[in-house]
Structure 1
Amino acid sequence: MMTQTHIEYDLHEIIISFIAFTIVLVLLVTFGIIFTLLFSRRQAQFRQEKQALHETYQRELLQSQLETQNQTLEYIGQELHDNIGQMLSVAMLHLNGLEEELTQSSHQSAVSRMVQTIEGTILAVRQLAKTLDSGTIQRFGLRESLGLELERINQTGRYQTHLQIIGEPCELGNEAEIILFRMAQESLNNAIKHAGAKTLTIIVDYQSTIFVLTIADDGRGFELSETANRQVGESGSGMRNLHQRAQLLGGTCLVDTQQGLGTRIEIKLPLSLST
C-alpha cells in the first residue's frame, strides 16, 4: 500500500518529467521554426542572387549588342560620307561640266534637273551619315540630333515632323543620350515603314525629377498584345528592344496604340539615374 509520501514523490517526478518534455518539445519546435526561417531566407537569397546574375547578364548582353550596333552604324555612316558621298561629288563635277557645254542645247534643262537631284542626294547622304554616327550625338547632344533626324525625314516631302522641347534642358550623359536617340530612330523608322503615318512628333520633356521622351505618329496603329507575343526576329519584336533599352537606363517604356488611332511611345528616365 502506497504511502502519502510515495504518492507525492511520484507526482513530483511526473511534473518534472512533463516540464522536461515540454521544454524539449519547445526547443525542438523552436529549432524547427528557426531552421525553416533560415532555409527560406537562404532560398530567397539564392533566388535574388540568381535573378541579379540573370539581370546583369542581360544588361551586359544588351550593352554588347548596342555597342555592336553603334559600331556598325558608324561604319556605314563613314562609308556613306567618304565613298558614296565622294562618288556623288565626282558625278556632280562631270554634270556641271556637261551643263556648261550644253548651254544652248535642249538637253540643258534635263541636265540641270539631274544636277539638282544629285545635290539633294548628296545633302541627304551627309545628313544620314551624321545621324548614324554616335560622335554626332556626343558633339551636338540629344536635342540637336533629334532635330537633324526629323529634318532629314521632313526633306523627303512625305511627312510633316514636329519637335517640341519642354522644361529646362539638362545633360543626360553620352551613353544615355545615344541609347535614347537610337530608340527614337527605331520608333520613327517603324512609323515610316509600318504605320503609314503622315505626321511624326517628338516631345522632349525635362521635368524636375523625370526625363520623358515621346515619339508619336498618326498612323494606323496596331494590336499591342499581338506584337508582344511574336518571337525574336519577327516583325514587331522591336517593341521588346525598346523596353529592354529603357530598363538598361533604369527607366520605363510605355507604348500606347490602337487600330486607326496612331501610336505613342513614352520613355521615362529618372534624372537621378541618368546623370
Structure 2
Amino acid sequence: MSTSHSTNGRFEVDWLISNLRWLLLVSVIFVSFAGTFIDLVNYEVNRIAIVELLASFIPQIILLVLAAFYNLSVMFLLSYGARPRFMPVVTLLLDTLLTIGFVITSGGLTSPLLFFALFPILTTALRFPWIVSLIVTLVIVVVCGLAGYDASRGASWVDLLPFAAKSLILLLAAVVSGLVGDRVKQTVARKHQIEEEAELRKLRTAQERSRAIFELASTLSATLNYNKVLKAVLEVGEAGMHEWGRPDSSHISMVLLFGQSDLRIVASRHLTQRDQKITFRGQSGVLAQALTTAEALVVNNPSSDPELCQLVMMHSCRQAIVVPLRAGFESFGVVVFASPQPRIYREEHKNLLIAICNQAIVALQNAQLYQSLTEEKERIVEVEEDARKKLARDLHDGPTQSIAAIAMRLNYAQMLLEKEKDIEQTIEELARTEDLARRTTKEIRHMLFTLRPLILESQGLQAALEQYINKLSETDDLPIRLDAMPEADKLLDKNAQGMIFYIIDEAIGNARKHAQAKNVQVRLYLQDNTFIAEVADNGRGFNVDRVQMRYDERGSLGMVNMYERAELVGGQLAITSKPGQGTRVTLSVPLQERYGRT
C-alpha cells in the first residue's frame, strides 16, 4: 500500500475519533447537568442553594471548555492536513487526563462519568498494543480510586464495591478491546499488505508492459524494409498478446492496406491462399466503422460482418479486434486480429494493439520513404547511365566519325604534298577538312549545350529552345519551327523548365534520327490552366503500341526517360503516331495544382 494511501487511512481514523469526542462531551453535559436541571424545575430551591449548586459545576465547565478547545485544535490540524507523529500520544494523554478530571469533579467513587474512561481505552486499543490499553485503564482506575477514597474518608468497604465493580468492568473492557484491537490491526495490516502487494504487482506489470512496448517499438523501427515492417506488425502483435496472457494460439491476423480503391491483404498469419487474395471495399461493417471513427473496435461474431465474412477462416472466429492505421487525416488501412474464443480481447489488448499500430505507422512511413528514396536513387542511376550511353552514342555517330574523317583527309593531303602533284586538289582537300573540322566543333558545342544549357537558367525555356534550334540548324538541314505563346514558360519553375527542355530535346532527336521528316514544329502554349508543349513532325511515323512493348528491355531508354521526367513535373506525356502519318509528342503540365495558378 502506498504511503499516501496509509496516511489517508490514519487521517480518517483521527477524524472519526474527533467526532466521537464531540459526542462524548455532549453526553457528559447531558449526564452532569440534566438531573440538576430537573430538580431545579420540580422543586423550589432558594437562591443561595442555586448559587452553591452552580459553583459546584465550575470545575466541570472549565474541563468542558478546555476539552472543546482541545478537540477544535485537533480538527483544525486535521483539516489542513497536518498530522504530527506525536499526535496519537498527545491525544491519548489529554483524553486520559480529561477522563480523570471529569470523574473526580463529578463525584469521585460515585461519579456517573466513569463511562468516559471507555473512550481513551477504545482509542488506545485502536492505535496501540493491548498492554498499553490495560496500562491506561489501570492509571485511570487507580488515580480516580485514590482521589475518590481520599475525598470520602470514613466510607465503609461496602461503599467501594460499586466503584470496584465498574473498575473491573473497565479492566475487562481494556483487555478485550486490546485483544480485539490487535486482531483488527493485524487484519487491517494484512489487508494493507495484500493491497500493497497488489499495487506492486500492478506497478511491475505496468513497467513490464512499458518495457515490452519499448522493445516492440524498437523491433518495428529496426528495419526499413517495407515487407519486413508489415510482417513485424503481426509478429509483434502476437508476441505482445502472449505477453499479456492471452490463452489461445489458434488465431488469425492480417494487415490490410489501401490499393487503388480497395483494401488488400499485404501480410497475414494463418490465412488460406484463397483468403489472401480477397479484397475489401471498406465501406460497410466494422472495417468502415473503424476507418470512419479512427478508433479500435472489438466485434463479436465477425463471421456475420458484411465484409469480413468473405474470409473462410473468419467463420470459426467468435471475436475480432480491428485497429485502424492512421496518421493525421490519412488512413493507410487496418490491422485485424481474430480468435475462435469469445470475450478474449480485453481493454489492455486493445491499448497494446493501438500502441503497436501507432508505432507501425511511423515505421511504415519510414519504410515507404526509404523505398521511395531507393527507387529514386536507382532511377537517377539509370538516367545517368542512359545519359552516358546517349552521349557515347552521339559521340560515336557524330564527332568520332568526323574526327576519323578529318584524320583520313589530312593523311590524303599529306600524300598529295609529298608527291607534289595537283596543288589545287590539295588545297581543296584541306578546305574540305577545315569545313569538316568546323562542323565537328559545332556538333561538340551543340552536345555541350544540350548537356547543360546555361541560357535555360538565365532566360528561360523559350530562349533556350530558340538557341537550341539555331545551333542545331548549323549541323542539320532539318527545318525546325518554334511557335511559343509569349511568357508562357514564365509560369514554370526552373526545375520544370529543365525537365521540359530535355523532353523536347529527346523528341526532336528522335525525329531527326528515325522519322525521316521534312519539317518539325515545336509549340508552347497555355490551355485551361495547363502548360502544353508539342513536338510534331511529318515523318514516316510508327506503331506506338508495338514500339512501346518491352521497350525498357532495349539498349536505349529515351522514351522511358521522357515519361519519367513528365511525372517529375506532375504532367502527362502522350505520343500519337501512325505509319505514314507523322508523330506528335504532347506534354501537359497542370499549373493550378503545381503552381497555385487560378
TM-score category (smaller protein):
0.5 to 0.7
> What is the deviation of 1:238?
3.4
Structure 2 regions of 5+ residues with no counterpart? 1-298, 309-320, 335-363, 395-401, 407-412, 414-422
Q: What does the per-residue CA deviation read over 1:230-268, in whole Å, with 9 as the maximum and x for residues that have no partner?
A: 142316753333222211211100111111101101001
Q: CA deviation at 1:142?
A: 1.6
Query: CA 1:134–1:274 in 2, change beyond 3 Å: closer, same or farther?
Result: farther
Taking a change above 3 Å as real, the CA distance of residues 222 and 74 of structure 1, as seen in their structure-2 partners, is: closer
Pairs aligned (count):
232
Letter in 1 for 2:439: G
Question: Cα gap change, 1:140/1:121 in structure 2, threshold over 3 Å: closer, same or farther?
Answer: farther
How far, CA to CA, are the matches of 1:153 and 1:242 in structure 2? 20
Q: Secondary structure at the match of 2:475?
A: coil
TM-score normalised over the length of structure 1: 0.64
Q: Deviations over 1:32-79 (max 9, x none)?
A: 64995x9597698249x79x76666545543554467679989999xx
1:142 equivalent in structure 2 = 461
- What is the aligned partner in structure 1 of residue 539 from structure 2? 219
**Residue number in structure 2 paired with 1:98:** none
Cα deviation 1:116-171 (Å, max 9, x = unaligned): 33333323322331222254432342222222332233333431111110253315
Matched, 1:238 2:558: yes
After superposition, residues 160-239 of structure 1 pair within 5 angstroms as: 160-169=479-488, 170-207=490-527, 209-234=529-554, 238-239=558-559
Find the partner of 1:45 among 325, 328, 332. Answer: 332
Distance 2:521 2:374 in 1: 35
8 A Cα contact 1:228 1:240, kept in partner: no
3-state DSSP class of the match of 2:553? Answer: coil
Match of 1:267 in 2: 587
| Structure 1 unaligned blocks of 5 or more | 1-26, 78-83, 89-94, 96-104
Match of 1:121 among 440, 458, 467: 440
Q: Deviations over 1:15-48 (max 9, x none)?
A: xxxxxxxxxxxx8479964995x9597698249x
Aligned mates of 1:172, 1:76 — CA distance in 2: 31
Q: Normalising by the residue count of structure 2, what TM-score does the alignment of the two structures yield?
A: 0.32
Please state whether the residue corresponding to 2:523 is helix, strand or coil. Answer: strand
Equivalent-residue separation in structure 2 for 1:130 and 1:114 (angstroms): 24
Distance 2:446 2:380 in 1: 26
Deviation at 1:270, TM superposition (A): 1.4
CA deviations 1:186-225 (Å, max 9, x no partner) are 1122222222222122111134621111111111111111
Tell me how far apart the structure 2 counterparts of residues 134 and 74 of structure 1 sit (CA, whole Å): 15
CA–CA separation in structure 1 for the residues paired with 2:373 and 2:303: 37
Higher relative contact order (CA 8 A, sep 6+): 1
| Amino acid in the other structure paired with 1:192 | R
Larger Rg over CA atoms: 2
Q: Which amino acid in 2 is paired with 1:245? A: R
Q: Answer whether contact 1:167 1:207 (CA < 8 A) is retained.
A: no
Measure, in 2, the Cα distance between the counterparts of 1:234 and 1:35: 45
> What's the CA shift string for 1:98-133, capped at 9, x where partnerless?
xxxxxxx52534433433333333233223312222
User: Distance between the aligned counterparts of 2:391 and 2:556, measured in 1?
Assistant: 25
Alpha carbons of structure 1 residues 31 and 73: separation in structure 2 relative to 1, 3 Å: same
Name the % identity: 21
How far apart in 1 are the matches of 2:432 and 2:388?
36
With over 3 angstroms needed to count, the CA separation of the structure-2 counterparts of 1:241 and 1:114, relative to structure 1, is closer
Segment of structure 1 superposing worse, 141-150 or 55-64: 55-64
Say whether 1:111 aligns with 2:398: no
- Cα 1:147–1:259 change in 2 (3 A) is same
Distance 2:390 2:460 in 1: 18
Residues 1:113 and 1:274: Cα distance change in structure 2 (over 3 Å): farther
One-letter identity of the residue aligned with 1:139: S
Task: State the AA in 2 paired with 1:200.
Answer: V
Work out the CA distance in 2 between the residues paired with 1:253 and 1:35: 39
**Secondary structure of 1:213 counterpart:** strand
Deviates more, 1:202-211 or 1:57-66: 57-66
Aligned-residue RMSD, C-alpha: 4.6
Q: Distance in 1 between matches of 2:467 and 2:527?
A: 23
Aligned to 2:15: none
Cα distance, 1:199–1:193 mapped onto 2, change above 3 Å: same
Distance, in Å, in 1 between the alignment partners of 2:581 and 2:307 is 58
Given the superposition, is the C-alpha separation of residues 152 and 131 from structure 1 closer, same or farther in structure 2, using an over 3 Å criterion? same
